[in-house]
Structure 1
Amino acid sequence: MENITLTPMRKGIVGVQFLFVAFGATVLVPLLVGLSPATALFTAGLGTFIFHLVTKGKVPIFLGSSFAFIAPIIAASQQWGMPGTLAGIAGVALVYFIVSALIRWQGKKLLDRLFPPVVIGPVIILIGLTLSGSAVNMAKENWTLAFVSLISAILVLTFARGLLKLVPVVCGLIVGYIVALCMGVVDLSGVAAAPWFALPPSIAHLQIPQFAWEPFLYMIPVAIAPVIEHIGDVYVVGAVAQKDFVKDPGLHRTMLGDGLACLAASFLGGPPVTTYSEVTGAMSITKVTHPQVIRIAALTAIVFSVIGKLSAFLQSIPSAVLGGIMLLLFGTIANVGIQNLVQNKVNLNVTRNTIIISVTLTLGIGGAVLNFGSFSLGGIGLSAVVSVLLNLLLPHDKDEEAAPSLIEEKSVES
């Protein structure tokens, strides 16, 4: 389907369809961290419009709630409350601004030097693994519901075809919710009491971030992985659309647009928004890459955000249903990190690579925390900083780099 043959009606249908592809992930993040799903939909739509404005309307990318920040937001909200956490989200925007300026100044080579696969892979693995405890705690509230949701999502992911294969989270939530209704464990009183139309709560009662250095600096290292993912998504979208968005409008513009969207989300009480690979997958199937279609999806997200009944319905989903989805979802995130190492042929038989990966994972999974007066750095943030420093400081051994990996040695022997 070529973009020039799309009628306005077709653009509208495909645009709404694209939102549904991203819908499950976009609303799941705020549900897990204690934010409003309606606010997340609003900031996703607004953020996408900001991104398209900065990129001159050329790049067909949808921005939605980022899974990378689930654990940091939960941890930050426990230490500094949600107003302080929102200030931390503003720190994420700062990272995008700095990277945008670096790309404009030095090009992508500097990023490759600071954040090679041996750094990014373990950080992405940690994003998934550090959340495993939360997934189990939510699932154990009702293991029946958790396994129903999990199995449903797995079946869709394994056997479904076409666009249905792109929404296993939504399918798992729907099946789990229906079973929960049959079991009588869903409280619908909030849905009945909710108005049909209402502004998202954090927008109706504007929740201004309370600036503090601690959450601000805590969130900054966590943004490393989404920044690198952003670069990869821009390349993938360019390949699907058969255009070079890295040159026109430029990677510095896409990064700046994402940063401004994150900043807007922080001031409106929403989670950070990043590029969505799910929608990119939908574009590759439908062959529809017109930016106008993505903007229709963004407008639909904003419309959905003011439907009060929808927000109340989403918040009525039992924790065990969400926990079942998380059992698959967070493991999948960790798997993406492993794929990053494998696809980039990171040699695990090289001593420096082994050191970087081992220390990064141990610090993150072990929950190490460094305290500097009233400021503390721990979890994924600390691991990311240590990983970058080790990569910069450890010497490269040419003989070791040339050595075959264990996998290659076994292949030769066989």
Structure 2
Amino acid sequence: MQDKSKVLDVKEVPKLSNWFLLSIQHLFAMFGATILVPFLTELSPAVALVSSGLGTLAYLLITKGQIPAYLGSSFAFITPITSAMAVSGEGGVMVGAFIAGLVYGVLSLAIKAFGTGWILKVLPPVVVGPVIVVIGLGLAPTAIDMAMNVDGAYSGIHLSVAAVTLLITVLGSVFFRGFFGIIPILIGIVGGYTYSLIIGAVTSVQVVDTSGIKEAWNNIVQSDSILGSISAIFVMPEFIIPFADYNPLEVINWSIIILMVPIAVVTVAEHIGDQMVLSKISERNFIEKPGLHCSILGDGVATIIASLIGGPPNTTYGENIGVLAITRVFSVFVIGGAAVLAVMFGFIGIITEIISSIPTPVMGGVSILLFGIIASSGLRMLIDNQVDLGIKRNLVISSVILVIGVGGAAVRLKFGDANLAIEGMALAAIVGLILNLVIPGREAGYGNGKMFASPEDK
């Protein structure tokens, strides 16, 4: 029986008239975070956009079109990339990312060989639920900072932009019907952008920087020929190609491996958490079908693709999971459409400039809702599985996970000149896993044992 709460199921194709807007909504949701990583690590934002699109398409292919996940730049690799850049430059970063992608592949083979039963045994709802809460709340400071701060200083005007954006998105999610009811994120972003332009017109505070758009437009209209205009529209991203821009054999070293590879192992916990969130909100079991090995392999291949063209490592995106939860549009065709648009936009300079001009507080306002929905999904998992927090064992495990994850606890290790940090959500997941294994009464952590939808609901 078809689930009436789903606007579009995983394999359903949207109407052509709606397809573009549904896909562009996902593109906008991931754009700010995806280009933020290369901005912070001195890589090319345009290349990051192209690599996220190509990586997502590869992911959809590897997962047999069964998981509606969008992949973008991974925040977990920001510190390793910065350190690796100082050690071996951009070439070293790409080699490290390539090896990290291979690690995903090795883990995928191990899961394929030994199954997922052991994973589900060590990750019951009492561990997974709080970890999902941490995934959402761990991102909360980022959303709030984007919403109200400019270069670290409080701005009431920017906070008003975030508030208006959030209000429009919330009203759209609750009250809009029909097609408008499934694009509230896009409507919120457009509304917040429009409000930002108005604020800039009536005050001295310019929230929207349109200089990049004007420059790109002038390059197009002031060209002396049609060919010149076309060449001004399409801009080749600054790809970094192995053996053309650097020699991998010359830049690879143990420092790079130590910096990058452990992060791949750590981010698997985040990947599993994302898959469980997706499984919960879509009422499917992606851990079993198409299988965790497929999704992890998809992450790995996406990261390898990024490393071969100069982009940061990729991972599944919480922002886009939030869009799925709000809109109930789970179609992989919508996700695929967003990926194709990302690749195209990476080559179109003026479109990249338009999306880049979306004010940070607009993305902050939207992110407040999206990240909160992720956290709420973790609470829902605890409730749906009837996990009894009156049992001291469950209370201890969930409490420790929440404080370590939200508090930003970290374990920092030093290997020669290289530093490794395991922190936040990753550390919380590891500690929760260990506590679940060592504290007696493990069966209490499963609640009613229905972490995922039943087989007949798949």
**Equivalent residue, structure 2, for 1:175:** 191
SS of match in other structure, 1:376: strand
C-alpha separation between the residues in 1 aligned to 2:134 and 2:59?
Answer: 28
Q: Give the TM-score of the pair, scaled to structure 2.
A: 0.70
Deviation at 1:371, TM superposition (A): 2.8
C-alpha separation between the residues in 1 aligned to 2:176 and 2:349?
Answer: 32
Deviation at 1:151, TM superposition (A): 0.8
Please list every run of 5 or more consecutive structure 2 residues that lacks an aligned counterpart in the other structure: 1-7, 149-154, 201-205, 217-231, 449-458
Cα contact 2:385–2:447 (8 A) shared by 1: no
What pairs with 1:264-413 in structure 2 (closer than 5 Å)?
A: 264-267=305-308, 268-270=310-312, 272-274=314-316, 277=321, 295=336, 297-373=338-414, 374-396=419-441
User: Partner letter of residue 164 of structure 1?
Assistant: F
Deviation at 1:177, TM superposition (A): 0.9
Deviation at 1:377, TM superposition (A): 2.3
* Equivalent residues, number: 389
SS of match in other structure, 1:220: helix
SS of match in other structure, 2:233: coil
Cα contact 2:70–2:316 (8 A) shared by 1: yes
Q: Does 1:59 align with 2:101?
A: no
Please list every run of 5 or more consecutive structure 1 residues that lacks an aligned counterpart in the other structure: 405-414
**Equivalent residue, structure 2, for 1:200:** 237
Judged with a 3 Å threshold, the aligned counterparts in structure 2 of structure 1 residues 302 and 60 are, in CA distance, closer, same or farther, namely farther
Judged with a 3 Å threshold, the aligned counterparts in structure 2 of structure 1 residues 382 and 30 are, in CA distance, closer, same or farther, namely same
C-alpha separation between the residues in 1 aligned to 2:266 and 2:287?
Answer: 26
What pairs with 1:3-402 in structure 2 (closer than 5 Å)?
A: 15-35=19-39, 38-55=46-63, 58-65=64-71, 69-70=74-75, 72-73=76-77, 93=101, 96-140=104-148, 141=155, 142-184=158-200, 185=206, 186-194=208-216, 195-201=232-238, 211-218=256-263, 220-230=265-275, 233=278, 246=288, 252-267=293-308, 268-270=310-312, 272-274=314-316, 277=321, 295=336, 297-373=338-414, 374-396=419-441
Worse-superposed segment, 375-384 or 196-205:
196-205
SS of match in other structure, 2:411: strand
1:204-259, Cα deviation, whole Å (9 max, x unpaired): 9979998342354245323313224336647987969xxx9956x65533442332
Cα contact 2:48–2:312 (8 A) shared by 1: yes
Sequence identity, in percent? 31
Cα contact 2:166–2:188 (8 A) shared by 1: yes
**Equivalent residue, structure 1, for 2:222:** none
Judged with a 3 Å threshold, the aligned counterparts in structure 2 of structure 1 residues 397 and 97 are, in CA distance, closer, same or farther, namely closer
1:161-203, Cα deviation, whole Å (9 max, x unpaired): 3443333332222111111112222221111223421233456
Deviation at 1:360, TM superposition (A): 1.4
User: Partner letter of residue 197 of structure 1?
Assistant: F
C-alpha separation between the residues in 1 aligned to 2:327 and 2:105?
Answer: 28
1:248-294, Cα deviation, whole Å (9 max, x unpaired): x65533442332123323543145243865786799769x77x6x76
Deviation at 1:322, TM superposition (A): 2.2
**Equivalent residue, structure 2, for 1:408:** none
**Equivalent residue, structure 1, for 2:3:** none
CA RMSD of aligned residues (A): 4.2
Q: Give the TM-score of the pair, scaled to structure 1.
A: 0.76
User: Partner letter of residue 124 of structure 2?
Assistant: P
Judged with a 3 Å threshold, the aligned counterparts in structure 2 of structure 1 residues 38 and 345 are, in CA distance, closer, same or farther, namely farther
C-alpha separation between the residues in 2 aligned to 1:20 and 1:239?
Answer: 25
C-alpha separation between the residues in 2 aligned to 1:222 and 1:26?
Answer: 18
Cα contact 1:90–1:216 (8 A) shared by 2: no
SS of match in other structure, 1:230: helix
Judged with a 3 Å threshold, the aligned counterparts in structure 2 of structure 1 residues 238 and 92 are, in CA distance, closer, same or farther, namely farther
Deviation at 1:325, TM superposition (A): 2.1
**Equivalent residue, structure 1, for 2:220:** none
Deviation at 1:86, TM superposition (A): 6.9
C-alpha separation between the residues in 1 aligned to 2:287 and 2:429?
Answer: 28
Cα contact 1:15–1:294 (8 A) shared by 2: no
1:137-164, Cα deviation, whole Å (9 max, x unpaired): 3322322211111111111111123443
C-alpha separation between the residues in 2 aligned to 1:363 and 1:297?
Answer: 35
Deviation at 1:54, TM superposition (A): 3.3
1:290-333, Cα deviation, whole Å (9 max, x unpaired): x6x76555433322221111111122122222222232232222
Deviation at 1:75, TM superposition (A): 5.7
Deviation at 1:41, TM superposition (A): 3.7
